[in-house]
Amino acid sequence: MPWNRPLIIGMILLLLALGWLRTNSGETELVRSSRLLMGTIVEIVVSGQNTGQLEAAVDDAFAEMARLDRLLSRHYQDSDVTRVSQGSKGGKVAPETAEVVALGLDVARRSNGAFDMTLGRLKTLWGIDQENPVVPTQEAIAEALEGVGFRALSLEGLNLVKQSPQLMVDLGGIAKGYIVDRAVVVLKNHGITSGAVNAGGDMYLLGQHPEHPWRIGIQHPREQGGILATVQVRDKAVVTSGDYERFFEQDGQRYHHIFDPETGSPARGCQSVTVITDSVALGDALATALFVLGPQKGLELLADYPGSEGLIVAADGTLHPSQGWADYQSAP
């Protein structure tokens, strides 16, 4: 199943948002639809005055997401990512793929490699997405890291260039966010001004609730079903990455899906990271980079992105908000 994401992760759309169903005494129409895409449940909710317009917008948004999933996922044999990974030097890619990679390379450079799109072999080795994941030997990890690193991948126009033949590209830390962004563009092109797209914790809130901004509950990383914090946003992306999303335990140790490119093992500095920013793709990449960097260096990186705020839950459970986080936080 592409992306192999769990069905419920990251964030919860609070019941306050569901109050939208009862707003304006039925004058405002609402369309809500969920589909299985990218290995997770993707939900789109839109409101307006014309049901036919709303349904057409949602259908077209899902169609665009499915198209881009086939283009960007390493789980499809005919995707750009698979073709480039199987080639010895890389290859030409679609403009959408180049756009994703360009953004990813910028975050990789500015995070000094904490975000890395070259870890396909390493992720395959651990198999955390599979039924029987394993803890590899240090020798196997070292072999999987040979020839990789954010400097081992470059973009020349529409040509994705690999520095080593064995390098396997993996866009799992950014492509889902980009796909959500493109779905939002489709909704806007249909004239939709209020709605939400949520792909398993990668979320964009378009416009606002008729009476107030959207309220989003951020999942507690250690309390199942618990809410860590609540934020109010409009026309913003909200992305959460956590060590509780995909993991297994062995000998009392939790092994999760967010890898430190330097060690080839799961990053240990955080429990979860939430980022509020202008695009889901950027939020996706930043959340991964911050998780790898840990609270101090992570907040330093986030400060380099004006208009972006975040909340980092450190490994010991302490909370580390960015300077402007309080501007979004609301009472539970």
Q: Looking at per-residue confidence, does 125 or 27 come out higher?
A: 125
The Cα angle at residue 59 between residues 285 and 75, in degrees rounded to 5:
45
pLDDT more than 70, % of the chain: 90
Per-residue pLDDT band for 4 (boundaries 50, 70, 90) equals: very low
- Tell me, what's the pLDDT at 247? 76
Q: Residue 170 pLDDT > 50, yes or no?
A: yes
Domains of the chain: 1-332 (3.10.520.10)
* Average pLDDT of the segment spanning 107-134: 93
Q: Residue 313 pLDDT > 50, yes or no?
A: yes
- Contact (Cβ atoms closer than 8 angstroms) between residue 126 and residue 134: yes
Task: In whole angstroms, give the CA distance from residue 129 to residue 135.
Answer: 13
* Average pLDDT of the segment spanning 183-212: 91
Of 22-31, 218-227, 277-286, the range with the highest mean pLDDT is 277-286
Helix (H, G, I), strand (E, B) or coil at 273: strand
pTM for the predicted model, two decimal places: 0.90
Token pair in block for residue 274: 């939430």
Class of residue 59 by CB neighbours under 10 A (exposed 0-12, middle 13-18, buried 19+): middle
Q: In what order do the strands lie in the sheet with 29-37?
A: 29-37, 40-48, 195-199, 202-206, 236-242, 270-277, 309-314, 319-321
- Tell me, what's the pLDDT at 231? 95
Q: Residue 19 pLDDT > 70, yes or no?
A: no
Q: How many CA atoms does the CB half-sphere of 76 hold within 13 Å?
A: 18
- Tell me, what's the pLDDT at 211? 65
Q: Give, as one character, the DSSP assignment of residue 90.
A: E
* Average pLDDT of the segment spanning 66-89: 95
Q: Pick the range with the lowest mean pLDDT from 66-75, 203-212, 213-222, 308-317.
A: 203-212
For residue 301, the Cα-to-chain-centroid distance in whole angstroms is 18
Q: What is the dihedral of CA 287, 6, 194, 100, to 10 degrees?
A: 50
Class of residue 249 by CB neighbours under 10 A (exposed 0-12, middle 13-18, buried 19+): exposed
* Average pLDDT of the segment spanning 123-133: 87
